[in-house]
Amino acid sequence: MATLDARTLPLDPTTTQTLAGSGFEYREVDVRSAEFSPFTRAIARGFLGEDLTDEQVESSRERVGGRRLTGVYDPHAADPATPVATVDSWVTALSLPGRRTVPMWAISGVTVSPTRRRRGIARAMVEGELRAAAGGGVAVAGLTVSEATIYSRFGFAPAAFSTDWTIDTRRARWTGPMPGGRLDAVDRERLRAELEALHDRTRASHPGDIEGWTGLWRRIAGLAPGYDERKVRGVLHTDDAGVVRGALAYSITQNDDDNAAATLTVLHLVSDGGDAYRALWRFALEHDLVATVTAPLRSVDEPLRWMIADQRAARVTTREHHWLRVLDVPAAIAARTYSAPAALAVGVSDHLGFAHGVWRLELHDEGNGTAQPIDAVADLTMSVNELAAILLGGVRASTLHTAGRIEGSRDAVATLDRAFASPDTPYLRIWY
Ligand SMILES: CC(C)(COP(=O)(O)OP(=O)(O)OC[C@H]1O[C@@H](n2cnc3c(N)ncnc32)[C@H](O)[C@@H]1OP(=O)(O)O)[C@@H](O)C(=O)NCCC(=O)NCCS
């Protein structure tokens, strides 16, 4: 898929005008310029981080190179070179049911200085991102969030969820099959390369996943400054044919009161096939001197549950993770495949206008769908948020119907449920 460079699209004139009306300047930041250091430091401050070292600034420069960086500046601020608000964005490939992808406008780094908060700056920036994305013909926008209360108002909804695990290893007891292949400890550079390659090879089978980037894998593999990098260790699984099928990045925290009760944290575990999955989890759960395994950001449907003797040895919490926003209904509907046929008129309300209207959906089993604007009474009505929630097949229309968020007959809802069901569980394996 040819990827659009988000930097080639102009800044949204409405946002420029709105912010200018409050005395702010809205402008793009060149990653190679001197403006980048205060820009990335403002993001660190916005997310409550420590001030960055020069080494961290350079690492961040490498990580976000190629993205569209936009800052809001206050010429009257004590330090006018530091933006009072930031956002960065780029176009990536979002995996969809049917092992298809659609271009997605990824939004990250949304911060507003605590000294300029609640004056509408974030609203102006986010709406500007959506208009820029729609203007560039990008069908969907996405983000991961610090708080679950911010983005619904812009038409986003959670479409993929994640789970965090804490496992008492002594109680859990491994009951999975003995996996084939071989495990090897590797250095962090090799770990990074394999995490990157495996993510890319497997992301099509996870609706909701997106492309990774080298700086992300450097951070996860412990190669980026400022992330406890020396604690990160890596193990690879290689199958009998000599192909690397899985990678585990982990760290261990010792327990000062009990040498045999350390905590192993699964920083990232990626597998291409069942053997690698089983081998890496067994490695973690049976690690000597470890009493607890924690694993953030796992799927809502982990086979791990079925490889331990006592499922209550695992505490699992679920959280919304990947928030999507539909900008172009026909393009989003045409991009994925469907599990059952459906022909329905769906009314979508969207106060920002992008997806608003009544749409005739013609969905074909094991094939694509079409959406065409029609002038008719809708069988079902929902807001653009619900459309985003069901897009990956991880949230059922019937659930939202019961919650009072989709209206229409039970039959129509059941038809939508069957069509939108996904054979692969939606799962975004990273933060962005
Ligand atoms: C979240 C943040 C970007 C909001 O910036 P802001 O300029 O104060 O937001 P705005 O004034 O544009 O607010 C827009 C709307 O969002 C609401 N809002 C803003 N921050 C919110 C929050 N943290 N929780 C819930 N609602 C929030 C506002 O009440 C306002 O609502 P309304 O216009 O519908 O009545 C800013 O507080 C921040 O930088 N926080 C720390 C970093 C962060 O969490 N970023 C988000 C990354 S996902």
Q: Tell me, what's the pLDDT at 1?
A: 55
Q: How far apart are CA 367 and CA 5, in angstroms?
A: 29
Percent above pLDDT 90 for the chain: 97
Q: What is the CATH number of domain 174-307?
A: 3.40.630.30
pTM for the predicted model, two decimal places: 0.97
Atom of ligand 1 nearest to the CA of 47: 42
Q: How far apart are CA 330 and CA 37, in angstroms?
A: 40
Q: Tell me, what's the pLDDT at 405?
A: 98
Q: Tell me, what's the pLDDT at 424?
A: 97
**Where does the pLDDT of residue 226 fall: very low under 50, low under 70, confident under 90, or very high at 90 and above?**
confident
pLDDT tens-digit readout, 388-410: 999 999 999 999 999 999 999 99
| CA 292 vs CA 64, 173, 267, 270: distances in Å | 35, 12, 14, 20
Q: Tell me, what's the pLDDT at 229?
A: 76
* Distance of CA 383 from the midpoint of ligand 1 (Å): 21
Q: Tell me, what's the pLDDT at 230?
A: 86
pLDDT tens-digit readout, 56-92: 999 999 999 999 999 999 999 999 999 999 999 999 9
Q: With H, G, I as helix, E, B as strand and everything else as coil, classify residue 272.
A: coil
What mean pLDDT is predicted for residues 190-211?
Answer: 98
Q: Tell me, what's the pLDDT at 404?
A: 98
Q: What is the CATH number of domain 330-420?
A: 3.30.1050.10
More confident residue, 336 or 3: 336
Mean of per-residue pLDDT scores for the chain: 97
pLDDT tens-digit readout, 96-148: 999 999 999 999 999 999 999 999 999 999 999 999 999 999 999 999 999 99
* Distance of CA 72 from the midpoint of ligand 1 (Å): 15
Q: Under CATH, which architecture does the 6-160 domain have?
A: 3-Layer(aba) Sandwich (3.40)
Q: Tell me, what's the pLDDT at 2?
A: 58
**Where does the pLDDT of residue 228 fall: very low under 50, low under 70, confident under 90, or very high at 90 and above?**
confident
Q: How far apart are CA 94 and CA 207, in angstroms?
A: 7
pLDDT tens-digit readout, 158-179: 999 999 999 999 999 999 998 8
For tokens 């653009």, the residue is 384
Boundaries of CATH 3.40.630.30 in the chain?
A: 6-160, 174-307
Reply yes or no on whether the pLDDT at 273 is more than 90: yes
Boundaries of CATH 3.30.1050.10 in the chain?
A: 330-420
Binding-site residues, ligand 1, Cβ < 6 A: 46-47, 110-112, 117-123, 145-147, 149-150, 153
Q: Whose CA is nearest to atom 15 of ligand 1?
A: 123
Atom of ligand 1 nearest to the CA of 143: 48
Q: How far apart are CA 68 and CA 425, in angstroms?
A: 31
